């Protein structure tokens, strides 16, 4: 049911469009990669140093992280050429502004996190392998720089996780409590049959 009232402080827009199919695919691939990276990161950091198989888990995490970086770079390029559709009709001004800030921070974290992880690996003795292919190291072994970049990597991961939780909570609110059908904007359109 659509709300017909125009209460003060609400941002009223016309009919809002959906994202393109490419944007939808990149969004859901990013979500799957982030879920995998958070789960794997939590698991492998809980393993003791020198635990059997830990090296393989770390290499898998690095490969998935760099894959996510490529997907994010693709998303940024697509976003520059095709802006997101207008905000949902009926959003309050503060909700639209919070959504804008949250999305910008999400993109910032998705760029900083893989970059800081890769740079941290460049200053340790192991380096980085991308699905088995050794990548160039950007410096000598330096424990201070390694610690700096890994700390940034970890802090960004916590910030990103918090932003993802906020993003999902907003979707739940708008989709099921406000009946604004926001999920349909990120799903392929299906033909609706008349009653």
Task: Compute the mean pLDDT over every residue in the chain, rounded to the nearest whole number.
Answer: 82
Positive or negative torsion for Cα 167, 70, 117, 104: negative
For residue 109, give every residue at least 6 positions away whose Cβ sits within 8 Å of its Cβ, in sequence order, or none: 156, 159, 160, 163
pLDDT tier at 179, thresholds 50, 70, 90: low
Q: Residue 187: which region, alpha, beta or left (left: phi > 0; alpha: psi -120 to 50)?
A: beta
Write down the pLDDT at residue 142: 87
Q: Which two tokens stand for residue 90?
A: 């009926």
* pLDDT score at 16: 45
Mean pLDDT across 84-96: 76
Q: Which of 35-49, 103-117, 152-166, 174-188 has the lowest mean pLDDT?
A: 174-188
Lowest mean pLDDT: which of 34-48, 81-95, 105-119, 154-168?
A: 81-95
pLDDT in tens, 101-112: 998 999 999 999
Q: Which helix (H) or strand (E) covers residue 168, if one does?
A: helix 143-172
* Closest alpha carbon to 88 in 9, 161, 164, 184: 184
What's the whole-number mean pLDDT along residues 33-55?
90
Residue 15 in this model has a pLDDT that exceeds 80: no
Q: Which residue has the higher pLDDT, 116 or 49?
A: 116
The HSE-up count of residue 186 (CA atoms within 13 Å, CB side) is 16
- pLDDT 10s digits, 121-142: 988 888 888 998 988 887 788 8
Give SS3 for 10. Answer: strand
Higher pLDDT, 29 or 174: 29
Determine what percent of the chain is predicted with pLDDT higher than 70. Answer: 87
């Amino acid at each position: 049911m659509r709300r017909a009232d125009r209460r003060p402080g609400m941002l009223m827009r016309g009919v809002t469009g959906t994202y393109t199919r490419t944007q939808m695919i990149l969004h859901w691939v990013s979500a799957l990669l982030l879920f995998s990276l958070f789960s794997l990161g939590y698991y492998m950091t809980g393993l003791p140093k020198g635990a059997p198989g830990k090296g393989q888990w770390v290499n898998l995490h690095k490969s998935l992280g760099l894959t996510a970086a490529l997907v994010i770079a693709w998303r940024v390029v697509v976003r520059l050429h095709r802006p997101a559709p207008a905000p949902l009709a009926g959003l309050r001004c503060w909700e639209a502004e919070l959504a804008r800030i949250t999305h910008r921070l999400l993109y910032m974290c998705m760029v900083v996190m893989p970059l800081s992880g890769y740079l941290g690996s460049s200053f340790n003795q192991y380096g980085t392998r991308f699905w088995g292919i050794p990548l160039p190291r950007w410096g000598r072994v330096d424990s201070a720089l390694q610690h700096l970049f890994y700390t940034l990597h970890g802090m960004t991961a916590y910030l990103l996780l918090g932003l993802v939780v906020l993003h999902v909570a907003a979707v739940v609110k708008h989709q099921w409590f406000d009946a604004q059908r926001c999920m349909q904007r990120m799903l392929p359109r299906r033909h609706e049959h008349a009653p």
